[in-house]
């Protein structure tokens, strides 16, 4: 088919139809070109020349304008507008374009242009129809979206990289959630995410050290708690035994306190009895002194009686002598003195009897005096003995008083000890109860420590195993 060129000077009916769009396209600041029904370029405006670096003279009237866009010939949107190979055009742009929509045709493609190299163009195709509705030409406009597409690609790549990094960190966090603390991120991340990887590894290292320390401490706590539980059990047993011993001691102290109280009462009674005995001994000593005095008085009275008897004896001797002289005188008187002689004889006999009786009284007085002297001696000795008894009784009274006071003090002391022992018994019982509670608490602590150790066993704190690069390599 012969090629036809349409310019402003052509006067054919078709040229008249396209004249207005051609002039409008020529004046547009948007890069645009027009293809006729045969696919030949009839218009290539200045903006299109500037964008593509292809001169209008090189493409107007030809069908090879695609060479300035692609390395190989391929259908374009004009073919789809003219209805040529619609399936091929649709499949092509469905595979290589991001969208085709609406009554106007639009495609986005990377193109290799003489000017600017590889550029991303937004292509819109607008068919021009005659009065009969037939497509007689197609106008295509070009928009340079290279910067936008590059940004989109960068954003897409950033999202892809971010998704890969998130996936990698997510895998590490999943492993961490399962207790694997050895899942370090060893391969490098893209520069903008490298601090995140380093911070993650740093935090994981600290967490691994912490968990390792916790595991070690838990093992030690488990051992210490076991030892503490044994010690608490032994303490509880010893405290129970001590409580029993203290209860027995309290019972013994109660008996001792009661015994000391009885002893104190007995000592008090003995002290009172000794006081009474001492008082009686003192009274007896007074009586003995009075008796001694009376005996001495009797001795003195006996001496006086002895003197009287001596006087009587002297009187009896003188009387006997006078009677004898009277008898001699009566005998000299003869018969007239006979009566007087009888009287004298009677007086003599009476004097003799008086002398005899005086001798008896004297003997009795001497015997009495000897007995009185002996009695005085005995009474003196009794007084001395009573005085010694009083003195000894005083000593005994002092001793018994001291014993009574000591017994009272000991009773008070034992009562204080008994009270202290009761308090100690109560405290020991409380200690025993606390020891039992402590043993239960220790057992609970041991159970918790073992449960904690069981929970910590799920953590793998070995740093030898590390995660492969995997998705990180793909992200990079």
Q: Are both 404 and 273 inside the same structural domain?
A: yes
Averaged pLDDT of the chain: 75
Q: What is the pLDDT of residues 333-389, one digit of tens each?
A: 777 766 767 777 777 777 777 777 777 777 777 777 777 777 777 777 777 777 777
Confidence of residue 31 (pLDDT cuts 50, 70, 90): very high
Here the CATH number for the domain that contains residue 369 is 1.10.287.950
In this prediction, residue 75 carries a pLDDT of 66
Of 144, 166, 193, which residue is a domain's last? 144
> What is the pairing mode between strands 41-44 and 117-129?
unpaired
Residues 337 and 441 in one domain: yes
Whole-angstrom distance, CA of residue 124 vs CA of residue 104: 7
Task: Pull the structure tokens for residue 119.
Answer: 């550029």
Q: Which ranges constitute the DSSP H helices of 28-65?
A: 46-52, 56-59
Which tokens sit at 455?
A: 């929970």
Residues 68-109 have pLDDT tens digits of 777 766 667 776 777 666 665 555 555 454 444 444 578 788
Residue 109 sits in a domain whose CATH number is: 3.30.450.20
**Cα 428–Cα 432–Cα 434 angle in degrees, nearest 5:** 110
Tell which residue, 115, 118, 106, has the closest CA to residue 142.
106
In whole angstroms, give the CA distance from residue 212 to residue 331. Answer: 165
Contact 351, 320 (CB under 8 A): yes
250 and 124, same domain (yes or no):
no
Q: What is the mean pLDDT of residues 326-335?
A: 75
* Residue 105, beta-bridge partner list: 125
Alpha-carbon gap, residue 28 to 36, rounded angstroms: 19
Inside any domain, residue 170? no
Domain count, the chain: 2
Show which of 144, 173, 190 is a domain's final residue.
144
Nearest to 92 by CA among 101, 80, 83: 80
Q: Mark which of 128, 144, 160 sits at the end of a domain.
A: 144
Helix (H, G, I), strand (E, B) or coil at 462: coil
**Looking at residue 151, what is its pLDDT?**
92
Neighbour count for residue 143 (Cβ, 10 Å): 16
Instruction: Provide the residue range defining the domain that includes 240.
Output: 229-454
pLDDT of residue 93: 57
Q: What stretch of H or E contains 32?
A: strand 32-36
Q: Decide which of 415 and 16 is more confident.
A: 415
Assign 5 a pLDDT band (cuts: 50, 70, 90): very low
Helix then strand then coil, % of the chain, to nearest 5: 75, 10, 15
Q: Return d(Cα 133, Cα 128) in angstroms, integer.
A: 9
88 near 73, Cβ under 8 Å? no
In a domain, 291, yes or no: yes
**402-454 pLDDT, tens digit each:** 777 777 777 777 778 777 777 877 887 787 777 777 778 777 877 877 787 77
54: tokens are 């292809």
Each residue of 181-235: pLDDT tens digit?
A: 777 888 888 888 889 888 988 888 888 888 888 878 877 887 777 777 777 777 7
Residue 270 sits in the same domain as residue 390? yes
Which residue in this structure is represented by tokens 């008085």? 297
pLDDT bucket at 459, cuts 50 / 70 / 90: confident
Give residue 15's pLDDT: 47
| Tens digit of each residue's pLDDT (9 = 90 or more) over 280-311 | 777 776 777 777 777 777 777 767 777 777 77
Domain for residue 3, yes or no?
A: no
* pLDDT band for position 170 (cuts 50, 70, 90): confident
One domain for residues 249 and 130: no
Neighbours of 43 (CB within 10 A): 23
Contact 107, 117 (CB under 8 A): no
75 in a domain, yes or no?
Answer: yes
pLDDT at 13: 47
Is pLDDT of 460 > 60? yes
Report the relative pairing of strands 117-129 and 105-113 from DSSP bridges: antiparallel
């Amino acid at each position: 088919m012969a090629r036809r060129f349409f310019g402003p000077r052509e006067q054919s009916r078709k040229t008249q139809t396209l004249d207005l769009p051609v002039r409008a396209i020529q004046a547009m600041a948007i890069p645009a070109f027009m293809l006729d029904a045969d696919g030949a370029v009839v218009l290539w405006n200045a903006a299109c020349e500037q964008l593509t670096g292809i001169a209008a003279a090189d493409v107007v009237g030809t069908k090879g304008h695609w060479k300035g866009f692609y390395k190989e010939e391929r259908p374009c949107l004009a073919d789809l507008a003219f209805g040529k190979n619609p399936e091929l055009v649709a499949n092509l742009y469905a595979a290589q374009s991001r969208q085709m929509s609406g009554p106007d045709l639009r495609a986005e493609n990377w193109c290799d242009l003489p000017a600017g190299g590889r550029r991303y163009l937004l292509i819109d195709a607008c068919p021009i129809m005659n009065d009969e509705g037939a497509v007689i030409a197609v106008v295509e406009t070009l928009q340079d979206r290279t910067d936008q597409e590059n940004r989109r690609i960068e954003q897409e790549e950033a999202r892809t990289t971010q998704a890969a990094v998130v996936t990698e960190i997510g895998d590490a966090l999943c492993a961490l959630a399962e207790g694997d603390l050895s899942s370090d991120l060893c391969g490098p991340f893209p520069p903008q995410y490298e601090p995140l990887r380093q911070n993650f590894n740093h935090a994981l290292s600290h967490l691994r050290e912490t968990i390792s320390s916790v595991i070690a401490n838990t093992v030690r706590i488990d051992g210490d708690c076991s030892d503490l539980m044994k010690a608490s059990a032994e303490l509880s047993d010893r405290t129970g035994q001590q409580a029993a011993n203290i209860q027995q001691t309290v019972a013994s102290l109660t008996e001792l306190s009661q015994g000391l109280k009885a002893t104190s009462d007995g000592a008090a009674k003995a002290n009172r009895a000794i006081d009474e005995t001492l008082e009686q001994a003192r009274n007896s000593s007074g009586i003995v002194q009075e008796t001694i005095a009376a005996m001495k008085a009797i001795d003195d009275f006996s001496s006086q009686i002895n003197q009287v008897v001596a006087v009587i004896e002297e009187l009896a001797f003188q009387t006997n002598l006078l009677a004898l002289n009277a008898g001699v005188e009566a005998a000299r008187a003869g018969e007239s003195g006979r009566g007087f002689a009888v009287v004298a004889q009677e007086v003599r006999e009476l004097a003799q009897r008086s002398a005899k009786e005086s001798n008896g009284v004297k003997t009795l007085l001497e015997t009495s005096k000897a007995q009185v002297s002996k009695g005085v001696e005995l009474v003196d000795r009794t007084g001395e003995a009573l005085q010694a008894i009083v003195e000894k009784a005083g000593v005994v009274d002092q001793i018994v008083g001291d014993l009574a006071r000591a017994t009272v003090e000991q009773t008070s002391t034992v009562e204080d000890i008994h009270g202290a022992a009761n308090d100690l018994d109560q405290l020991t019982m409380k200690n025993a109860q606390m020891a039992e509670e402590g043993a239960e608490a220790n057992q609970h602590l041991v159970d918790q420590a073992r449960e904690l150790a069981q929970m910590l066993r799920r953590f793998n704190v070995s740093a030898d195993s590390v995660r492969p690069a995997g998705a990180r390599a793909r992200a990079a």
